[in-house]
Structure formats: C-alpha cells, structure tokens
Structure 1
Amino acid sequence: MKSLLYYTFCLVLFGVLLSGCSRKKDSFVSRNFHAVTTEYNTLYNGGVALDKGRASLVETFNDNYWEVLPIERIVFTENTASGEENRDPNFLKAEEKAIKAIQRHAMKIDGEERNPQIDEAFLLLGKARYYDQQFVPALEAFNYILAYYPKSNNIAQAKVWKEKTNIRLENNVIAIDNLKDIFEVESELSNQDRADAHAMLAQAFLNLETPDSALVYIKSASKLTKKLEERGRYNFIKGQLYNKLGKTDSANLAFQEVIDLNRKVPRKYHINAHLEKIRNFDYASGDTLLLRERLDLLVKNRENRPFLDKIYYTKATYFMNIGKEDSAIVNYNKSLLQKSSDQFLNSRDYLALADYNFDKAAYKTAGAYYDSVLNKLPVRTREYRSIRKKRENLNDVIGYENTAIRNDSIIRLITMPEEELTAYFEAYISKIKEKATQDSLARVEEVRNQEFFTNSTSSRKQGAAGVGEFYFYNDVAVAYGKQSFEKQWGNRRLEDRWRTSTKQNTLQGANTLPGIATTIVEEQIEAKTAADYIATLPRERTQIDSLIKERNVAYFQLGLIYKEKFKEFPLAIERLEKLITFEPDEKLILPAKYNLYQLYGNTDAFAKEDSLKNDILTTYPNSRYAQRINNPNTVFAADVDAPEEVYKRLYDRFKAEEFETLLTVLDTRIEQFYGDPYLPKFELLKATALGRYKGYEAYKTALNFVALTYPRTEEGKKAQSLLQKVLPNMAFSSFDDEALSVSYKVLFPFENKDLVAAQEFNKKLQEALEKVKYDNFTISLDSYSPEQSFVVVHYLSSRSQAEGLVELLANNDEIKLSRDNIIIASENYKIVQLHKNVEDYQEKITN
C-alpha cells in the first residue's frame, strides 16, 4: 500500500513539473528546462555533426600551391543538387538538430524569445547551410538573428557569417563595406572573430583581384588568430601575395614565419614554404652550394617523402639554373616517378622535358612530351591552346625531318659504288643477327631467372610450360629444356634404358646455352642477303628524281618552319644552306636565297647578307624578291605575281565554270609555285575543278593525291576528311525516285565546240521566258564535260510543268524555240553532274 502511494506521488509530481515546463509559460522552471535541453542535447549533437562535416571538407581539400591559396579550405562546386541524398549527412544532421531546437524549444512569449539558446540554434542553422552550399537559406538564418535577437551575444558572429555568405554569393563589394562597418560598431568582437573577419576581407579583395589590399588584411588576420594552423596558412598566403607584388624579400620573411612554426602547423605548409623560398633564390648573388645542401636535406628527410614530387621538381629547376641540364633531366624524371596527384606539377615536369628536347632538336621526343603536357592541362586555357599549336607545328617538322633523313639515306645508298654497297648491307645483316642473338639470350636468361620451368609435381602432371602455353610451342622453352637435359645427362641416344649408368654421360658446360640460342636465332631470321636488300633500292631515273624532289621540298619547308614558326634561325639557316648545295630546281633557289638573306640579317651575319643581296639583285632583278630588297619599307598592295593574287584570279575562273582553261593555267601555276606554302591550295582547287569537269572518279583520284602529297597542311587534312566522310556518300548506286521530287530542270545539250550557239540559245530562251511572263524560272549555261555543256532551266515544280514549258516554247507562234531536251529532277541532275552519266539516266527514263 505504501509503495502504491509512493509511485502515485511521483507520477503526480512529474506531471506537475512537466506542466510547468510548457513553452507557453514564462516561468523559471520552463525557461531553464528548455534552455538546458537545447544547449546540452539538441545543439550539442548538432555542433558535433557540424564539426565532423567541416573536418571532412578540410581533409578532402587539395590545395593548389601554384596559385594563391583560398582562405577557407573548402571545395565549393558550382551546381549543387538540392535532394537530401546528394547532401553531406553531417551538415544535414546539424541542420535538422538546429530546426528541431527551434521547433521544440523556442519560447516566444509576448513577442520576445525567452529561451536564450534559440539564437545559437539559428547560428548553427546558418553555418550548416553555409557549409552545405545552401547560401541563400543560410543568409536568411543569419538575417533572422540580426532582426529578432538584437541583444544576442552572437550578433557580431552573425554579422561576420552573413558577409562570408555574401562573398560566396559574389557580393564582394557589399561584404567589404559591411565588414569594415562591423569593426567600427562592434567593440566586443573577440580577437578570433576579428581574425575571421579580416581573413574574409582578404578573400573578398582577392576575388576582386586587388592583392595589395588583400595583403593588409591577411597580415592582420595572421597576427590576431589563436589557431596555429590558421596562422601558418595565413602567413603562407601572405608570402604568396608578396611574391605576386614582386616583393621577394618580404615574401621570404613570410615563408620563414611558416617554417619557424615547424611542427605546430601541417607538414605541407612547412615544405611548401621551403620550396617557395628556394624558388625565390637569387642565382646571380646567392650561394648555390648552400642551396644545394638545403635541397639534399629536404630529399633525405623521411618526413618529406609525401612531397618528393615537388622537391625533385624544385631540385631540377635548380640544376637548370646553374647549367647542369643532365642532372635537371634526371630530377624531372624522378619527380614524375613519384606518381604525384598534382596534375599541374606533372604538366610542369613534362613541359620542361619537352622544351629541353625541342631545344636539342629532338622533335619526336619533344612531341611526345608535349602530348603528355596537354593531357595534364585543362582544355579551356590559354596555355593549352598555345602548346597545342606548337605541337601541331611539330607534326610538320617531324614529318619533313623524317622525309629528309629517309630520302638522304636512300640517295646516299643509290650513289654508292657496288662493292661498297654490298659491304654496307653485309655489315647491316651482321648487326641484325647479333642484336637478335642478344635479345634471344636475354629472353632465355629472363626465363631462367623467373624459374620458367618448375620442378613441382603439379607442373609435371599438367605438362605445363610454366607460362600458360604448350611446352613445345615455345622455342625458348625448348632451348632451355635441351640445355638443362644435357647439363644433367649429357648426350644420350634415343633408345631404351637411356638413364642406366653404363650409358655415356658427357656433361656439357654452361656455355652450351648460347650455342643453342644462336642456332634458334639463325633459323628464325629470314635468310636475306646483301643482294636482296640492294634489289629493293629504286633504280629508275623517275624514282630517283622523285626522291630528290621530295627531299628538296622537305629541306625548304623545314627552313621556312624553323624561321617563321619557331624562330630557330640557326636551324633554318642550316637547312636552307644545305638545300642550295643540292642544286635544286630553279623555282626553289630564289625563295631559299631570299629567306637566307633575311636570316643572315636577323643573326648579324652581315657579310653573307650583302653577298646574297647582290646575288638576288644581279641574277633576278625583275623578281618580287628583288623589289622587296630594294624597297624594304614599301608595302606592295597588289603583287600580281604573288601566289595569293594568282589564286584569287583562278578561283574567279572556277566560279565562272571556265574549267578547261582553268585546269591548263593551274598546271602551269603549280609548276611555277613548286615549293611555295601556297601550293596545296592550288592543288585542292585543281581537284575540285576536276570533280566538276570530269566527275567523281577524277575528283577522288585528285583528292587522294592532295591527301597523300600534303598530309600535314590544312588542304591535305581537308582532302583526307572529304575522302573519308563525304566521298562514300557520293558514290553512285542508283538514281533517286522522282515520284516525290518537287524540283525539276530542263536540259538542252550542246557540244562544247559549238558554245557560240549555246550562248545564243541561252539568250533567246531568256527572252522567250520574259515574253510569256515566266519570271520565276532562271536559266544558266552549265559545263558538263570536256565535250558537252547544258543550257538549263531551273525551278520547275513538276515533270508535267517542265513538259508543258517545252511544248509552249516549241508551239508558240511568237517564239518557235525547239531543241532536243532532257527533263530531270534536281536530285538526279546533281548525280548526273557528279558521275557524268546522263546517258544512263536517259536510258532509265526511256525504259
């Protein structure tokens, strides 16, 4: 009975206390109950979740030390999905706890909040939304504190966070003005709050690209903050800003402040501060030996292993600056071997190696390194576009260099005496066999080292060769097996009881293996003699002339590329001087000499310049090159013999469909401008004219010639594209069905030997159409083939309309214009013009 009374009393007491904790009652118990519950339950858990989320952001952030570091180590993406499944669970939990605290524990009575922890809840809500990139909702939370909790001790923090959010929303100018006002109004700001505000001011000025103003506030923030990690970061940024402003000494002092913090800051700040100081080193007056010792110590320190990629790169730069290029190359490669996650660092390593090989004229290697650079750089950057252009130019250099080397070698072999040529190829065959033997020996040794054959029972049962293939299919395995057998058993006959002790047991030495390997190699190498190789050399005069011509053009183009695109004047001079020693075609000599004349002037070789000047003026006094030498400051508005002007005139002929004369002139001009950079344009124009004049097959053949002859030019690439993408769709399979056609033409054929009659008919037809008021039709005189042309009436809407027009022209008493004609749909007219098969079309219509 007593226990029942006790429990009843407790329940009544609990009910009284619970009713006294209502959010609607402004009592001491109620206020303290909700305040304590909010602070030590809901807000505590929300704060823990916020800290976890923030720590996760910091840990996953990768600083780019090649640029000025951001103030906050947080990755903010441009587009964030609003669904909860795409949000950080920690920030989502912090937001939920803040909302729960507001909904369950707010005590707004008579327009005043009685729970002193609710402003903390709104601050937590704003922070959670800020870190979760919900900037507009975060701004609402901070504004709510400022509007409804004017006496809160979190007002200053709310103001600072509001401006941080404004900065994220790119309202930098507003944020700067408001933050400056906070310093004047809020006298109770703690040093840490002031440090945060000054740091964000620095970020706003960085966003506005005013580093000098940013420097003022980052210096202040580094002094005010009590957090050592922040102090190290702010000092590092301070050093970067000094570097950006060209104040190297001040930058080094700032980086030294980071170094002096030593283990009090993350190691990455410490190491990068060292490296920044080294990059600022003055090689003209500094102690390079001391600098080398510093770099070696950084490499040896075990704590620096995660940063060896950057240290090796800095060390490579050091060697480049002191002229030890071989050591620099070694360290660039060491940097790459660290497999760094820093893509930009990798791009710097590859770029340095590319430039080094380019300067050494190792263009194939340089091209490969430039490809690697492009793979590491963002596509939409100026540097990417610049390097890509340089890489494309290298394609031309590599192609022409390969042509020059190959043709030089063939021409040299062709001109050798027969005995010397035979001796050359015999030596070549010996080298091939020696190399193949060494490769085979190396492979056998590799098999041995890897224990190609195991003595395990399982291997014997499976009859395996040890690498997943049948034993006797592997010549190397068989050779090694023979050697192992003979070493153990000697030479044994194939007979019964061969293992008995009475049998011969001649053990072989270890030198048996090379003999076996050599035999295998000799069997595997195709038996080619010197005569076989000699037989492959070109011997016909036309073949040799073609090689010489191609070689000469390659040297000429190399000279122009080195001169115009790469400004490598010594290389350009070397190629052009060598070209002249070959005594090339006359059409290459003058432009080569003129370019050499310019190159000698650029390299201060004044005696050679004067000599070439006199040569050009004496030998070619009427050429445009002589005019340019005599009048160097005159801009020639229209040089009628310049390739550009000639091409314009020829293109006008193409548009006028003067194909016969155009092709004749094109052949002359192609011969005249042989070796000129403009030549591929003439060749492509010729291909297009042939297509219009002689049809599909002629067009295909001419395009193929352009693509193969000029593969590195824009015209060659365009021809290749046409061959691959356009020509297959143009191949004739059948005429189009005209049932659905809405456009027809009437063709009046004329022989080209009677073009005067065609022109007269064209004129009469035009007058006839005007007389019958058929102004919606047009007439043209179209070239069809070398033998035939068409007078064409266009824009007829149906076959019956075309037939009616023909009948009207023939029967009208005032016109009486009658002639054999072909009515054809516009789609099929295109086919006829392309494939020159009008007879096939007429046969199809007749049948």
Structure 2
Amino acid sequence: MVRFIKSSFLLFLTVVGLLGSLLSCSQYSTKPVSRGYHNLTAHYNAYVIARDEVEQAEMQLFKTRQENYGQVLPILLPVDSTKSQAVKQLLDDAIKKASLIPERHQNSKWLDNAYILIGRARLLKQDLPNAIEVFKYVNTKGTSDDDKHMALVGLMRAYVEANDYANAQNVGEYLRAQPLSKTNTRDYYLVNAYLNERQGKYAVAAAILEATFPVLPKSEATARLHLIAGQLFDVSGQPAKAVAQYKLVAKSRPSYDQLFYANLYAIQSKGLSTDIREAATSERTFETMLADRKNADLRDKIYATMAVLEVRKGNIDKGIDYYRKAVQASPSSGQVPYTYQEIGRLFDQKKGDYAQAKAYYDSALAQLPRQSADYAALLTRRNTLDEFVQYKNTIYTEDSLLRLAKLSPTELNKVIDDAIKRREEADKAQVALAQQIADRVSGGVNNIPGATNSELAPDQRWVLYNPVALSQGRQEFSTRWGNRPLEDDWRRSTKQASEAVAGVGSPLNGQTSANSINPNAPLTPQDAVNGTPVIGGPVSANQAQRDVMRARIPFTADGQLQANQRVETALYKLGKLYKFQFNQPVDAISTFEQLLNRYPSTIQKPEVYYLLYLSNEQLGKASPWKDRLQTEFPNTSYARLTGKTATQSSDSEAQALAVYTQIYDLYKENNLTEALARADKALGDYAGTKINDKLALLRVLLVGKLQTPDAYRQALNEFVRDFPASPLLFRAREMLAAASQKK
C-alpha cells in the first residue's frame, strides 16, 4: 500500500513537471524543449498540410492545362488568375495553414519555409505584388541560405510573370554566383530558361534547358520540356539538336499527345533532307498516322505538318492544299485561324496573290483571339491588303464602265442581258447547292435514331453549329463578295458603286489577276453588273435592272472625267503600296509608268518621278527619272532628295516641325496606326526638309510597333540607304544590327 502511494506520487510529479515544461514553451523561447515542441507542431500541424495543398494545386493546373502545339510551348505554365479559380480553395487553405507558423511558432525552423509556401500560393493566384513582397522578406530576414536562395528563385519567377524582365535578370545574375543546392539549381535553371524564352532568346533558353535535363526525373513534365527544347532549337535554326530532343521525349514517359507531336516535329526538322529514302519513309509515316484510329482527332495536325514539308520543298500549291485539308479535318476551331493565317501568308509572301491573302487573313482574324501575339501584326497587314484590293477593284471596275460607255446601244443591251442571264444562272446554282447541303444535313440527322446536333460529327451537324464550317463559309463569302456590312439588301444593284466594286469584275471573283492591271482586257458580261437581279422576274423587272446598270455607266464627259480621276488616284496609291508596303519595285515601276502613260498631266508627277528613280536604283538599273525630275521640277523637295541643292523655305521647315511634333505626340499616346498614316503622308509632303530624317526614323519605330519584324528591318535598311549623311545614321545602324541579331 505504501509502495503504491509512492508510485502514484512520483507519477503525479512527472506529469506536473511535463505540463509545466510544455506550458513554459513560449514561441519566442530559445530553450531546446520549447524549440523542439514548436518544430514538431509547426511541421505536422501546418507546414506539411500547406505544402501538400500547394503541390496538389500545381499538379491539378498541370493536368488540366491546354497546350497550343501550333506555337512554341512555354517552359513554365504562365500563371492565370482565371485558371487558378479551380484551385482557389486549395491555395487559400494552404495560405491559412502556412500562416499559422508565423502566428504561433516564431521559433520554429519551418518559419522561412512557411513564408515561401505563402509566396508560391500567391504566385499561383497571380497575386504578384504580395508574392514579390513575401519572397523579398524571406531573402532579408531568413536564417538559412538555402531558404533564401529558394525565395530568390520564386522572386525571379514572379518578376518574369509580371513582365519585369530587368529585375528578373538582376536576381538571376546574383543567383548565378551563389552555391545553390541541387533542388535550387534545378529550379533556377528552369526559371532562367523561361525568362530567356519570354524575351525571345530561344537559343539561350534551349541551351539552359539542355543543361537541366540531367537533374530531372523521367516524367510527363520532363517529356514536355524535351519537346519544348526541340521547338526552341528548331526556331533558332538548329534542326539536328531539335531532332535529338524530340527523340528523348519517347524515353521520358510522355503522354500520347506529346509523343505524337514529337514525331511530327522530328519529321519537320528532317524536312529539308534530300535523301529520297528518308522522304519515302516520311510519306509512309504520314500514311500510317492518318490510318491510325487513335489519331482521328489529330488528322488536321498531320495535314498541317505535310503542308510545312511541301512548302519547305518549294511546292507552295501542294502545301496550300494540305493546309486546306487540315482545316476540313479540324475537330474544333481552335487551330483553324492559325491555319488560315498560314495559307494567307503563303498567298501573300510566296505567290503574291494579295486578294486571296486578304480573304484568308479575314477568316483568320474572325476567329483569332485579340490577345494573340499575332493579332496586331495580322490586322495591320490585312488592312494594307484591303487597300490593295480596293485600288485594284477601282481600276478594274472603272475601266470596265468606261469601255461600256463606248459601246453602241445594241451592243450594250446584249452585254447587259448576257450579264443578267449569267447572274441568274449563278444564283440558281448557289440556291441549289445550299438546298443540297440542307437536305444532306437534315437527312443525316433524321437517319440517326435519337441523334442530336451536338452528338454528330462536325461534318454531319447543321452548318451554324459547326465553327469550322462557319469559318470556311466566311472565307468563301469573302473571296466572292469581299467585305460587306451586315445589313439588309447587301447584294442589291442599287447600292453605291463605292460600296459594291468588290462584287464586280474584281480580283476577288477571280476575273483578273491580283498582280496585273489590264485596262484593254476583253470585256466580260459581269464587268457591267453589280449586285444581283431579280431571279425569274418579268420583263419589266429586267428592264428596271437595265436602267440601274445604265445609271452606273459614265456616258457624260463629266462622269468619264470623275471615273478617270478615280483610276488615276488608285494607280498612284497602288504604286506606293508596291514600293513601300510590299517591297516590289518591279510592280511599282510598271504601275507608275502606266499612271504616267495614261495621265501625263497628273499632279503627282514629281513624286512619281522620284519613286521611279528610287525603284530603279533599288534594282540597280540606270534610268532617266532623276534627270527628268531635276529638269522638269528643279525646285521640288523630290529634286533636292536626288542630290540637287536648293533653299528650303522657313515656312516649310516650321510646318514640318509642327507635323513631326503632332506625330510624336500620337506615338507617345500609343495611337500608333494614326501616327504611321500621318508619318507616311508627311514624308511625301515635307521631303527635303531638315527634319526629314527624324520623321523617317520615327516612321521606322512605328513600323516596328505595328508590322512584322521583316518589315521593320526593311524600313531600317531604307533609312540607311536614303539618309547616308544623317546624324541619326549611327542609331539606325545599331537598331538594324539588333534587329538582325534577333532574327
């Protein structure tokens, strides 16, 4: 009994002692017992839970990502507040759990790690300012070098996501000199590669990725990085290294899509090979891929790859056919605008068929996301081609109407009647085709018991529910009719000629080449017609249409004068498009010469002489235009630009300076399109002034903002050529060197 009492008393003292020790475990105490208690509690009650939730959120974002394999993939998934909504609850709870450590366990060794988790969670939520502050705090107050380095890697990533590349580069330079752990080295390399990729330094990004692979495990994420490394090597002109990376995808536990695209990209990288056996192997590979049922939703990608190879071999028409098949085989509209963009680019840059290029660019812009990197440049190019088609249509239509005015009444009636008949037949054919499509679609739905439009294949659905079919229809409409406003009676022949020239004798209808102007071409019945007559109407209806068509024909001297003025203006502007926008001096020369032959008294003659001189000089050909300009118009600014000195009036100089200031203000306000239009006009209006070189360089900057890199480099080359004595020449050459290096 006594022994039992003594044992109970000792046990009581032990419990009291332990409770006293625990109660004295303040989070600010440095005693071993206190630190041990808070380390244990902070680790298992907060840190582990928060870490697992952040990793779970990252894994979920990775699994639900949507890759655009038509573009170079980002090395790290860009943070997106919209996509992070799906994991918001996980991230919020992780922040809550991690925040318990600085609140209750200040003396814990997990304090810095908790702050880093909070920074990671805020980064994934795209709360970049707070994420940056947290990472900075750890770097300043942290006690472990490894934790500080980890925070700096997170800080670098946050700066990249905020597009603050200068600060990201500074953090990277500091980390490069630090002794990083294996994990921090891996993460630093990935963020650094991502930074270089975002800056367009693809070769550097690929080299950094290549150095990272030895420390990466085999996984789907690693397979993705091998695929990206191959893409980066491809765009930086290193196809052999690209193929090596594509082959490594198969060895890294890839997903089916990753393996599929790795094989396609590898074939593309070998596409320039002249080995016949290799080409035959590629063709058999494509046939196998197309026949594989697993690739049913990927057939458009296969056709697009076949198109790329044909274009590289110089088979432009065959490449365009494959791209069209890619559009038809596309299971969704996501890739369709990019395919239309490629077709338009081929018509634009390879075939010089600007009317067709414009039609495909229209279709691409109708579906291309406005935030796309290509949208602004494509829109600018489309607008330029709009001008081209407008001028071509004006020339062709006005010439057709002028030729009609010279016909006898009998000949004119026959032409109009033939045109009405042809239009009726064409409209009947269109109606019949539309009815066939409607019947086929309706029959397809009715023949599938219980089937709805949403359950059918894309080619079986009603056309208005099929985005690919809609896009194709839009492209075909634009090809035939041009741009038309959404309004009633858009095809009526009573509409103004200025609104309807795209439907008459225009390049968009395939009735004339987009590269030639032939006013003496034989007259076709459709040259006289605009709009659509009443189909199958009585004789009085046809007579009404004849009257409407006759009303457009310039029988009077004043009407013919106005028609010729429109042709003269269109020729002048078309020649400038060829010279400055398309960089086609041969077409510019032929267009300007035609302008001078048809309208020898044109008020644009001094500028046309000067542009003819520049175009011939660009081709290295001798021409009389410089001498004619200095002889006939010795006091013009264009004569001064050819080397003959003259005194510029102070009024012109003052006006030029005022216009330059206005354009520069537009540039600062980011009103770039208007600024470029005014700069183009001012260069012609104030050529030869002292401020002309500044105005020209400002135009170069605007071209760089709005147009393609090739157009920017071309504009810089023209500045270097046209202003050899300018004090801005050194700056222009620096810009040209930087642009060429980036290319």
Q: TM-score range by the shorter chain?
A: 0.5 to 0.7
Q: Within 2, Cα distance between the matches of 1:651 and 1:142?
A: 58
Structure 1 residues 231 and 38, CA, compared in 2 at 3 Å: closer, same or farther?
same
Does residue 554 of structure 1 match 2:588?
no
Q: Which residue of 1 aligns with 2:741?
A: none
Q: Which residue of 2 aligns with 1:527?
A: 542
- 1:181 alignment partner, one of 169, 173, 178: 178
What whole-Å deviation, never above 9, does each CA across 1:643-670 have from its counterpart, x for those lacking one? xx79959999xxxxxxxxxxxxxxxxxx
Q: Within 2, Cα distance between the matches of 1:347 and 1:241?
A: 19
Q: Which residue of 1 aligns with 2:223?
A: 232
Aligned partner of 1:563: which letter?
A: K
Q: Which residue of 2 aligns with 1:845?
A: none
1:123–1:158 CA contact under 8 A, matched in 2: no
Q: Which residue of 1 aligns with 2:262?
A: 273
What does 1:148-167 align with in structure 2 at a 5 Å threshold?
A: 156=146, 159-167=149-157
Structure 1 residues 636 and 272, CA, compared in 2 at 3 Å: closer, same or farther?
farther
2:46–2:97 CA contact under 8 A, matched in 1: yes
Q: Which residue of 2 aligns with 1:317?
A: 308
Q: Within 2, Cα distance between the matches of 1:144 and 1:632?
A: 64
- 2:644 alignment partner, one of 615, 630, 636: 636
Q: Which residue of 2 aligns with 1:94?
A: 94
Does residue 400 of structure 1 match 2:416?
no
Tell me how far 1:75 sits from its aligned partner.
0.8
Aligned partner of 1:350: which letter?
A: Q
Q: Within 2, Cα distance between the matches of 1:242 and 1:448?
A: 50
Q: Which residue of 2 aligns with 1:541?
A: 557
Q: Within 1, Cα distance between the matches of 2:64 and 2:332?
A: 16
Q: Within 2, Cα distance between the matches of 1:545 and 1:305?
A: 60
| Larger RCO (CA within 8 A; separation ≥ 6) | 2
What does 1:313-392 align with in structure 2 at a 5 Å threshold?
A: 313-336=304-327, 338=330, 346-347=337-338, 349-350=340-341, 352-357=343-348, 362-371=353-362, 376=368, 387-392=378-383
2:543 is paired with a residue whose SS is coil
Q: Within 2, Cα distance between the matches of 1:232 and 1:679?
A: 53
2:178 is paired with a residue whose SS is helix
Q: Within 2, Cα distance between the matches of 1:216 and 1:359?
A: 33
Structure 1 residues 585 and 89, CA, compared in 2 at 3 Å: closer, same or farther?
same
Tell me how far 1:306 sits from its aligned partner.
5.6
What does 1:141-290 align with in structure 2 at a 5 Å threshold?
A: 142=138, 146-147=142-143, 156=146, 159-169=149-159, 170-178=167-175, 180-183=177-180, 194-200=185-191, 202-203=193-194, 217-243=208-234, 246-261=237-252, 264-281=253-270, 283=272, 285-286=274-275, 287-290=278-281
2:116–2:135 CA contact under 8 A, matched in 1: no
Q: Which residue of 2 aligns with 1:429?
A: 420
Structure 1 residues 573 and 339, CA, compared in 2 at 3 Å: closer, same or farther?
farther
Structure 1 residues 355 and 23, CA, compared in 2 at 3 Å: closer, same or farther?
farther
Does residue 623 of structure 1 match 2:646?
no
Q: Within 2, Cα distance between the matches of 1:651 and 1:226?
A: 67
Tell me how far 1:270 sits from its aligned partner.
3.0
Structure 1 residues 275 and 75, CA, compared in 2 at 3 Å: closer, same or farther?
farther
Q: Within 2, Cα distance between the matches of 1:590 and 1:681?
A: 12
1:561 is paired with a residue whose SS is helix
Tell me how far 1:223 sits from its aligned partner.
0.9
Q: Which residue of 1 aligns with 2:525?
A: none
2:196–2:205 CA contact under 8 A, matched in 1: yes
Q: Within 2, Cα distance between the matches of 1:567 and 1:353?
A: 18
Aligned partner of 1:182: which letter?
A: P
What whole-Å deviation, never above 9, does each CA across 1:557-580 have from its counterpart, x for those lacking one? 433432344233443344445556
Gaps of 5+ in 2: 1-8, 160-166, 447-533, 657-680, 687-743
Does residue 22 of structure 1 match 2:38?
no
Aligned partner of 2:392: which letter?
A: E
Q: Which residue of 1 aligns with 2:730?
A: none
Aligned residues: 543
Aligned partner of 1:637: which letter?
A: T
Q: Within 2, Cα distance between the matches of 1:31 and 1:628?
A: 85
Structure 1 residues 625 and 575, CA, compared in 2 at 3 Å: closer, same or farther?
farther
TM-score, with length taken from structure 2 = 0.57
What whole-Å deviation, never above 9, does each CA across 1:363-411 have from its counterpart, x for those lacking one? 4443344455667476797x76655554444344333222211121112
Structure 1 residues 589 and 46, CA, compared in 2 at 3 Å: closer, same or farther?
closer
TM-score, with length taken from structure 1 = 0.51
Structure 1 residues 215 and 557, CA, compared in 2 at 3 Å: closer, same or farther?
closer
What does 1:425-464 align with in structure 2 at a 5 Å threshold?
A: 425-438=416-429
Tell me how far 1:222 sits from its aligned partner.
0.8
Aligned partner of 2:255: which letter?
A: P
1:199 is paired with a residue whose SS is helix
What whole-Å deviation, never above 9, does each CA across 1:784-819 have from its counterpart, x for those lacking one? xxxxxxxxxxxxxxxxxxxxxxxxxxxxxxxxxxxx
Q: Within 2, Cα distance between the matches of 1:179 and 1:590?
A: 61
Structure 1 residues 291 and 17, CA, compared in 2 at 3 Å: closer, same or farther?
farther
Tell me how far 1:256 sits from its aligned partner.
1.9
Moved more, 218-227 or 349-358: 349-358
What whole-Å deviation, never above 9, does each CA across 1:155-212 have from its counterpart, x for those lacking one? 74664344333553445444554465334xxxxx5x6565345434545676788777
2:536 is paired with a residue whose SS is helix
Q: Within 2, Cα distance between the matches of 1:404 and 1:175?
A: 59
Gaps of 5+ in 1: 1-8, 184-188, 455-518, 653-676, 683-847
2:645 is paired with a residue whose SS is coil
Aligned partner of 2:62: which letter?
A: V
Q: Within 2, Cα distance between the matches of 1:207 and 1:527?
A: 63
Structure 1 residues 319 and 207, CA, compared in 2 at 3 Å: closer, same or farther?
closer
